[in-house]
Structure 1
Amino acid sequence: MHIFNFGGSRRISFSSTTSEAERLQVFKEPGYSFIGMHCLFDSCKASVTVVKFGHLSSDLLAYGASDGSLIVCRVAEPPSILHQLKGHSKDVTDFDFSSNNQYISSSSMDKSVRVWDIGKGHCIRVVYGTALQLCIRFHPVNNNFLLVGNAHKEITVINFSTGRIIRKLALESEVTAIDTDHTGQFIFAGDSQGCIHSIKVNSHTGALSRTHRNYRGVKHKAPTTTVLFRTFSLLARGPVLLTCTKDGSLSFFSVALEVGGYLTLRCSLMLAPRAWNIQASFCPLLSLEKGEFIVSGSEDSNVYFYDLTRPKHPCVNKLQGHGSPVIGVAWNHGENLLASSDSDGVVIVWKRAKMEG
């Protein structure tokens, strides 16, 4: 097991030598400049398929891998691994922190959902299903509910305390990515055909009801790899949703919560199709910037930053340091650290430069 702490001494290269960079001219954006690698974790021997920071945390980090392992770390000085959570027998497809960061819920290709006590470092609940469990979230208001998407084209609501499935909602395709709005009134679910479903959820009973289905922004039928909700955007002047599909499509929607979570496509970007389930994330909101910035992994081993409002020259920066396809990306709460994971099992935590003034 190795943890490397670079203390900002290792510089990042921005040279354009890859296939993605050849297609997208890079315009460096000062707000998304980085001073180096903060630390690196390479204890995992399998592809790291998902990486996330804890809820409202700048220090707690976890990542799940294709060998079923789930690793919990701290990135504050000195960086350290807290627990290696073992129980899944196949790929960890997704996980989520509870609102108090006491628990992690995880979904897996082994058809199970597990809940882990982070402090004790062991599994406290296992729910066995009959389908591949593909994505998972704690309900943001009622953490006793787990919201799970599976390969049987269902969203299930699981009672965390009892481990019982209390609600199901059938969709037309496998549910591959989900997120909720901040109030917990809506689930936004992406499926294996690239459609995004807006679903009303009752935070008391777990009852689910469909409100809208959106096909826009999808040129080809391809699995959704990312669905992320944000409460505010400078462009939309309200809540927004970011989606990413395996055909390389990045889409940015405004969300009308008062109209059943109705989605309106505001801008999009078409990249090269991917073999891996490459994920994307919103970038920190910068008050001086007018664009809509997102960060994404790529199969050419780089981390890319895009402004979706610049269709001709969307790439504003990139980070080089991985040696294999970059799959997962995630910001910490303080938005000064960015974590990225790759198919060789390496997780890099990058340190963003402080903005002057």
Structure 2
Amino acid sequence: MAHGEGSHPQVGNAKHNVHVMNISTGKKVKGGSSKLTGRVLALSFDAPGRLLWAGDDRGSVFSFLFDMATGKLTKAKRLVVHEGSPVTSISARSWVSREARDPSLLINACLNKLLLYRVVDNEGTLQLKRSFPIEQGSHPVRSIFCPLMSFRQGACVVTGSEDMCVHFFDVERAAKAAVNKLQGHSAPVLDVSFNCDESLLASSDASGMVIVWRREQK
């Protein structure tokens, strides 16, 4: 499920559909449905709420133009990340850091890599910028941009991994992008989430365990 501005949440399902819903009536909005090539596994809006990306279990990411006033959804672009590799996570960011002002998309797709794409136009066309090594072959691993990246040097992203670790990467480093690794899980790490000031990070794994990590004060 994704939610832009207004009262129209978006949902994806196993029947390959993306639907815009009216939150007041619980019904689908006219003109607010579209079909993907596979089961919808990931959804993410850009910050203004005008572009929606959806990823499916066959390796495709679609962009949609969203009319906030009417709830209408218009299919714009399709990118095949890798044929047959499920797209398990999409995270959008308007700009990554003070040095990298391009809108960006962070994608997990069961390729043993975390993928960072640049958004190159208003229709959501994607261009691969960088990739980072992780272990992900089959589990629905998710990743996020760090919320405070615009206020410091560099720009970090965080991802789960099937090696039972939480990985941090600086997307602006040309070499040695891995900056931290948290160990403590005994199963593949599936999801990660920061609080708003990055003082706490929660990570969850395939065994049902959730660990809350506290940032060390320097």
Higher RCO (Cα < 8 Å, 6 or more apart) = 1
Taking the aligned partners of 1:186 and 1:286, their CA distance within structure 2 comes to 21
Taking the aligned partners of 1:252 and 1:312, their CA distance within structure 2 comes to 15
1:132 maps to what in 2? Answer: none
Give the aligned residue type for 2:186.
G
| RMSD value, Cα | 2.1
1:85 maps to what in 2? Answer: none
Structure 1 residues 319 and 161: CA distance shift in structure 2, 3 A: same
What's the offset of the Cα at 1:312?
5.8
Which of 78, 97, 107 is 1:243 aligned to?
107
Structure 1 residues 318 and 306: CA distance shift in structure 2, 3 A: same
Task: Structure 2: state its 5+ residue gaps.
Answer: none
2:88 maps to what in 1? Answer: 225
Q: Is the 8 A contact 2:156 2:170 kept in 1?
A: yes
1:321 maps to what in 2? Answer: 184
1:280 maps to what in 2? Answer: 143
Which of 78, 87, 104 is 1:213 aligned to?
78
Taking the aligned partners of 2:82 and 2:38, their CA distance within structure 1 comes to 17
Taking the aligned partners of 2:208 and 2:82, their CA distance within structure 1 comes to 32
Taking the aligned partners of 1:263 and 1:182, their CA distance within structure 2 comes to 16
The Cα offsets for residues 19-38 of structure 1, whole Å up to 9 and x where unpaired, read as xxxxxxxxxxxxxxxxxxxx
Taking the aligned partners of 1:329 and 1:185, their CA distance within structure 2 comes to 25
Taking the aligned partners of 1:269 and 1:159, their CA distance within structure 2 comes to 38
The Cα offsets for residues 18-64 of structure 1, whole Å up to 9 and x where unpaired, read as xxxxxxxxxxxxxxxxxxxxxxxxxxxxxxxxxxxxxxxxxxxxxxx
Alignment of 1:1-357 (within 5 A): 136-138=1-3, 140-142=4-6, 144-166=7-29, 167-215=32-80, 218-219=81-82, 221-234=84-97, 235-256=99-120, 259-283=122-146, 284-285=148-149, 287-290=151-154, 292-309=155-172, 313-354=176-217
1:69 maps to what in 2? Answer: none
Taking the aligned partners of 2:50 and 2:66, their CA distance within structure 1 comes to 5
Give the aligned residue type for 2:125.
Y
Alignment length, in residue pairs? 214
Q: Is the 8 A contact 2:111 2:137 kept in 1?
A: yes
Taking the aligned partners of 2:163 and 2:28, their CA distance within structure 1 comes to 41
Give the aligned residue type for 2:72.
A
Structure with greater Cα Rg: 1
Corresponding residue SS for 2:49: coil
Taking the aligned partners of 1:286 and 1:165, their CA distance within structure 2 comes to 37
Q: Is the 8 A contact 2:136 2:162 kept in 1?
A: no
What's the offset of the Cα at 1:318?
0.9
The Cα offsets for residues 158-185 of structure 1, whole Å up to 9 and x where unpaired, read as 1111111122111222221011011111
Q: Is the 8 A contact 1:269 1:311 kept in 2?
A: no
TM-score (norm 1): 0.56
Taking the aligned partners of 1:272 and 1:342, their CA distance within structure 2 comes to 14
What's the offset of the Cα at 1:315?
2.2
